[in-house]
Homo-oligomer: A and B are copies of this chain.
């Protein structure tokens, strides 16, 4: 029986492409290409980074846990690895690629029969050490949500000065970049 933790995680994972499309489709470049300084992500970079995660991070690691356990540590993930293939692409292309890859990965995930026992299977993270499949799934969800909040924060930052005295009521304007 599929564990309820999987269905609950899927509720978020399947909504992320739609959420990003609603926020970003058709948005002008000053919003879509804004960032927080050197080596920080713009909204467009976030989508590229999420695409790269679909290609190389979440499902490949999940399969390593199921097939190899701790005997094969995960391949380290490069936060900026998306740049070579996905940097500078038009937003619509990024959103479509992310949607397609995410849908495909979640179809595969649903087919894996992740019951309570399988969620306790373990793998080896190259820096964090032993992790469970349940932790990987939860981290995937939180990683999505973290990038949604990052998109909102990066966009808000453009108006840090424009809000004038309202700044003290708008803590998003003074949160650290990430």
Q: A residues engaging B (CB < 8 A)?
A: 5, 8, 11-12, 15, 18-19, 21-23, 27-28, 30-31, 125, 128-132, 134-136, 138-139, 141-143, 145-146, 148-149, 152-153, 155-156, 159, 162-166, 168-173, 175-176, 178
Contact of A155 among B132, B145, B155 (CB under 8 A): B145
A148:B146 contact, CB within 8 angstroms: no
Contact of A132 among B8, B143, B145, B164 (CB under 8 A): B164
B155:A152 contact, CB within 8 angstroms: no
Total copies of the chain:
2
A135:B22 contact, CB within 8 angstroms: no
What are 6 A-B interface contacts by the 8 Å CB criterion?
A11-B28, A12-B31, A18-B22, A135-B164, A139-B166, A145-B152
Classify the interface of chain A: helix, strand, loop or mixed: helix
B173:A142 contact, CB within 8 angstroms: yes
Question: In the docked arrangement, what's the CA distance between A89 and B122, Å?
Answer: 41
Q: Which residues of B are found within 8 Å of A23, using beta-carbon distances?
A: 15, 19, 148
A146:B170 contact, CB within 8 angstroms: yes
A165:B21 contact, CB within 8 angstroms: no
CB nearest neighbor in B for A18: B22
A166:B178 contact, CB within 8 angstroms: no
Instruction: Using A135-B166, A172-B142 as known contacts, say yes or no to A31 and B19 having CB atoms under 8 A apart.
Output: no
CB distance from A165 to the nearest CB of B (A): 4
Known: A141-B159, A146-B171, A148-B149. 7 other contacts (CB 8 A): A5-B162, A125-B165, A128-B169, A129-B165, A131-B165, A145-B155, A149-B153
